Amino acid sequence: MRIGIVCPYTWNVPGGVQQHVRDLAEALIGYGHGVSVITPADDDAQLPPYVVSAGRAVPVPYNGSVARLAFGFLSASRVRRWIHDGAFDVLHVHEPAAPSLGLLACWAAAGPIVGTFHASYEKSRVVSVTAPILRSALEKITGRIAVSEAARTTLVEHLGGDAVLIPNGVATARYATAEPLPGWPGDGGALGFLGRMDEPRKGLQVLLRAFETLGRERPGLRLLVAGPGDADDVLARVPADLRSRVVVLGLVSEEDKVRAYHSVDAFVAPNLGGESFGIVLAEAMSAGAPILASDIEAFDHVLRGGRAGVLFPTGDAAALAAAAGALLDDPARRERLSAAARAAVRAYDWSAVARDVLRVYETVTLGAGGVIATDGEG
């Protein structure tokens, strides 16, 4: 099968959707399918051979974050050319409601289109005003996927229609084993965080407040922080007497990200909301890290109601400190949670998820005849 995949966000900026697209593409290629991905990217960016640039993206506030999106005449022209030249059997558009390439592809293409909806958000005036415009594109989608119940609810309530539930995938074997970073986790215990440091909804500020309490109670405890953002800004929010025990790595390579998961006694996901799944959580589970996570709906589901990780009230730094302290003091419980996390995350391995996606492709292409074309060209 010849498959075209549309990624809405800049390829080289870390994010759950980008990783989902990359891993899905590589899983499908591994099954012998022909795959091409189009994405926002600088023209001189280093891209895998199956990825095509649609041009430079611009930062746009979106879903409580700042996403780098592409939406303009140049991008539209490149999307149309890519669709025309690709002769795809199916087009798979991610986040088709985002003001980026997915929307452009839906408007441009004719033929079997699958849309995957990742985002979870509250209804807003902007969504209400733009919904009629979006529907002109979304009506062309013949198969809909939601990565979580939260994402499905967002689609049903805000945009209309329904979707089959297929979760985010994770390459569990990639994270299963790795050497810890030098000197980690250490004898005094270590907590870890990975995410955009300057994005409030990722909840780093909650973890830093909890560490103020824990750090003073536990003289050897350290905190390892990784992800995009300003390291100096993070350290400035830590009391001077604890600053030497907070190590901020910043943006890390894929290899060091895996090592970071293996470098801590517990991984903390203090997110405040806006998460429909939590790929970072699934990666940490694949590494066997004991998990401490806020009790948002998506995390509660992935952690099986607390059976595969410890849940604490969202935004409650005191509750996080208490839960972390109890977990740090109980090695046997950490071992049990590690085993439970590894078992639970197997349901999200790409070996299973990619096959479910392929079944959707087969459904929408069955009897469709022909290949994807641009409107007016096929």
Model confidence pLDDT, tens digit, residues 201-241: 999 999 999 999 999 999 999 999 999 999 999 999 999 99
Q: How confident is the model at residue 99 (pLDDT cuts 50, 70, 90)?
A: confident
Q: Which of 6-15, 326-335, 364-373 has the highest mean pLDDT?
A: 326-335
Q: Calculate mean pLDDT across residues 10-18.
A: 86
Residue 161, pLDDT > 90, answer no
Q: How confident is the model at residue 63 (pLDDT cuts 50, 70, 90)?
A: low
Q: Calculate mean pLDDT across residues 106-133.
A: 75
Nearest in space to 140 (alpha carbons), one of 159, 160, 113? 113
pLDDT of residue 365: 93
Domain 172-347 top-level CATH class? alpha beta
Residues in the chain, total: 378
Q: Calculate mean pLDDT across residues 23-31.
A: 96
pLDDT of residue 126: 47
Note whether 287 and 261 are within 8 A (CB).
yes
Least confident of 105-114, 151-160, 260-269, 317-326: 151-160
pLDDT of residue 236: 96
Place of tokens 């967002």: 154
Note whether 221 and 243 are within 8 A (CB).
no
Note whether 34 and 182 are within 8 A (CB).
no
Residue 378, pLDDT > 60, answer no
Where do the CATH 3.40.50.2000 domains begin and end in the chain? 2-169+349-374, 172-347
Model confidence pLDDT, tens digit, residues 350-374: 999 999 999 999 999 986 766 787 7
Distance CA 317, CA 322 (A): 9
Query: Residues near 38 by Cβ (< 8 Å), separated by ≥ 6?
Result: 4, 5, 6, 7, 51, 52, 53, 54, 78, 79, 82, 101, 105
More reliable by pLDDT, 161 or 194: 194
Q: Calculate mean pLDDT across residues 168-179.
A: 94
Q: Report percent pLDDT > 90 for the chain.
A: 71
Which CATH architecture group holds 2-169+349-374? 3-Layer(aba) Sandwich (3.40)
pLDDT of residue 273: 87
More reliable by pLDDT, 228 or 312: 312
Residue 287, pLDDT > 90, answer yes
On average, the pLDDT of the chain sits at 90
pLDDT of residue 127: 53
pLDDT of residue 125: 46
Q: Calculate mean pLDDT across residues 174-197.
A: 96
Query: Residues near 8 by Cβ (< 8 Å), separated by ≥ 6?
Result: 17, 39, 40, 67, 69, 94, 95, 98, 100, 101, 102
Give the amino acid at 89. D
Residue 77 token pair: 């022209």
